[in-house]
Structure 1
Amino acid sequence: MCNLDQLQMLVLAAELGSFSACARRLGKVQSAISQGIAHLEADLAMTLFDRSTRKPTLTRDGERIYQCAKAILQQTTELEKTAAAIHAKEEALIRIAVDKAIQVPRFYDVLARFAHEFPHTQIELLTLASTDIVKQLIAHRLDLGVMFADLSFCRDVALCYIGSLDFHAVCHPDYPLASMTQISDSDLLPYRQMVLRGEYGNYGGYGEELAHFTSLSSRTWWCNNFESMLTLVEKKLGWAYLPVTLTTDALTQRRLQAIDVSFDHKTWNLPVDLITQKGANHGPAMRWLTTELKELLS
């Protein structure tokens, strides 16, 4: 029956336009190519090339076999590369969760380079609130997380500080706080605040807040992502601390206005941690990814 060498001869002869060109590409004599294709035709009981012209051309049956042969050769190449990746101990799948506010353009550049370096390792990317990432990692639903640091240090994960992101207190330009100056924490009490809170938690069935995001208002709405908070603020429903990665355009376009709070003498910024399974034995793909992500906010 046909073999891979014969299928390669068929594909190259069809694509290069002659048996002689195929022979040169494969480093063989032309008679070996002619014999190999003749044996393939005999095995398949059909004529693959019309040899009545100066250059052999595929018959109608040959066109169909050529497409199948090309697919088989591509699958064979993929099989060999996958086997090489397995021998190199490259992971089959890496599950990542990243807070939406930390998904800066450079993050996707890292993933693009990863795809080139490790084409046979799959990525499962989740967008989760920072408050939920540690729980999912401890439950072994994730391999890696990038999140705003939790002040309550968790000893069940390995963490690495990788930088920080700036936050602004913002509201809509028509919201009452926009016209006030030197706003104190007591001034904020009557105004609705949007606060980040995770979906999963242990307190009365509600998710948890990070210590950084505790409410300053007596009227609070919670969201599990910053984009929802941004939309609510733009709808004049309250105010919030939001990351500069999400507010820059809105501030420029006057869809948002920074609030003049008296207790923020400098731009408020939050530390960002990269967390992984404690004691996990990482393969080359995971080691490459963690190394690159450590420079994400540099």
Structure 2
Amino acid sequence: MNLSIDQLQALVWAVQAGSFSQAAKQAGRSQSVISTHIANLEADLGVQVFDRSTRIPTLTPEGERIFQEAEFILQRREHLIQMAHSFEKQHESHIVMAIDEIFPECLVGKLLHEFSLHFPHTEVEIYFPLMDDVEDLVEQGKVDIGVSWRQAPSRDSLRFTPIGSVPLVLICGPDHPLRDVSPITVDELRKHRQILISGRNHSLSKKTLKLSLESWYVESHWVSMHMVMQHIGWAFVSKYAYDNFLHKDQLALLEIRDTQLRDIDQSVHIDVITSKSKHIGPALHWLIQRFQTSVLP
């Protein structure tokens, strides 16, 4: 058995065009070439692909299955060629990303869609850790690129590219004691349990947002809002997460007027993070540039 791509292509052309003559015309071949390729295919397979008892040949039941397989093989052949061209351009074959949950997910989806069009043959793996856990993964070489809160001081082994900031809001449950307090002060917040969005080692959240003497830590803005709904505590959360939370009508948004609270940075600065020792290929370079234009304020 000696199948050729030309035989499979002739079969697909004939089926898609509706006849051998039309297939020849569309493909710029003679009808005899199309007919010969299909006859040789049938001979090599030992299967009658077309029923020629009618004026226009039609696929046999076996031919239907063979056509589907031929079409799939040709599609994968084209995919292989395009993938090889991508590698020839030195596009990365695989990229691992770590994106802090605070980065708006709607922007992540849009950006990745564009990436898939520019680099269709680069496989992508995405993690969603938080805060300094992102930097840890980049520094350890477990991910190629990270997007996370800016830390101070920054690590010497990493490269930071600013891409904007994400605003935070202060929330509590509708029946929480803070709901009836005005103005909200740091001293008042310290009386009540705080739900802190935090990475695994808690260092960044402790340095930047911890106010209460009693705190619970959680690795999700979404889960923290559910906890606030249950009056477990109050929290600072991403405004993007709050705006898109399905049950935000069951949360109370607290206005910040106290001078001490105003001194707390109410917007989180976001960086794209890469290792200084990491080669930046075309796909990584595209991601860094695209994150910079991701419409964060």
Q: TM-score under structure 2 normalisation?
A: 0.92
Using the TM superposition, give the Cα deviation of residue 194 of structure 1 relative to its aligned residue in structure 2, in angstroms. Answer: 1.2
* Alignment-derived partner of residue 221 in structure 2: 226
Per the TM alignment, residue 274 of structure 1 is displaced from its structure 2 partner at its CA by 0.8
AA aligned to 1:18 is S
Pair 1:272-2:270 in alignment: yes
TM-superposed deviation, 1:31: 1.2
Instruction: Give the aligned partner of residue 255 of structure 1.
Output: 251
Please tell me whether the aligned partners of residues 179 and 252 of structure 2 are also in contact (alpha carbons under 8 angstroms).
no
Whole-angstrom distance in 1 between the partners of 2:248 and 2:44: 71
8 Å contact from structure 1 (residues 171, 257) kept in 2: yes
Equivalent residues of 1:172, 1:256 under 8 A apart: yes
Q: Deviations over 1:203-247 (max 9, x none)?
A: xxxx42346534211111111222222111111111111111122
3-state SS, counterpart of residue 74 of structure 1? helix
Segments of 5+ residues of structure 2 without an aligned counterpart are none
Contact 2:163/2:270 (8 A) holds in 1: yes
Measured in 1, the distance between the counterparts of 2:76 and 2:91 equals 19
Give matches, 1:44-123, under 5 Å: 44-123=45-124
Deviation by residue 1:240-268 (Cα, 9 ceiling, x = unmatched): 11111122356962522314451344881
Q: 1:1-298, aligned counterparts within 5 Å?
A: 1-199=2-200, 201=201, 207-210=202-205, 213-248=208-243, 253-263=249-259, 264-265=261-262, 268-296=266-294, 297-298=296-297
Q: Report percent identity of matched pairs.
A: 31
Q: Distance in 1 between matches of 2:223 and 2:249?
A: 19
The residue identity in structure 2 corresponding to 1:219 is E
Q: 1:61 to 1:189 in 2, by over 3 A?
A: closer
Give 3-state SS (helix, strand or coil) of 1:279's partner: coil
Residue-pair matches, total: 292
Unaligned stretches of 5+ residues in structure 1: 202-206
Deviates more, 1:248-257 or 1:45-54: 248-257
Q: Which amino acid aligns with 1:33?
A: I
Output the CA distance in 1 between the equivalents of 2:135 and 2:29: 59
**Deviation of residue 60 (structure 1)?**
2.2
- Determine the C-alpha separation between the residues in 2 that align with 1:167 and 1:83: 45
Q: Which amino acid aligns with 1:127?
A: F
Pairwise CA distance, 1:29: 0.8
Residue 61 of structure 1 deviates from its aligned partner by: 2.3
TM-score by length of 1: 0.91
CA contact (8 A) 2:197 2:219 kept: yes
Q: What secondary structure does 1:68 align onto? A: helix
Assess if the C-alpha contact under 8 Å between 2:184 and 2:254 holds in 1: no
How far, CA to CA, are the matches of 1:248 and 1:110 in structure 2?
A: 20
Mapped contact 2:197–2:237 kept (Cα < 8 A): no
SS across alignment from 1:167: strand
- Report deviation, 1:45: 2.2
* Distance in structure 2 (CA, Å) of the matches to 1:255 and 1:210: 22
How far apart are 1:80 and its partner, in Å? 0.7
Q: Is the deviation greater in 249-258 or in 58-67? A: 249-258
Q: Is contact 1:159–1:275 with CA below 8 Å preserved after alignment?
A: yes
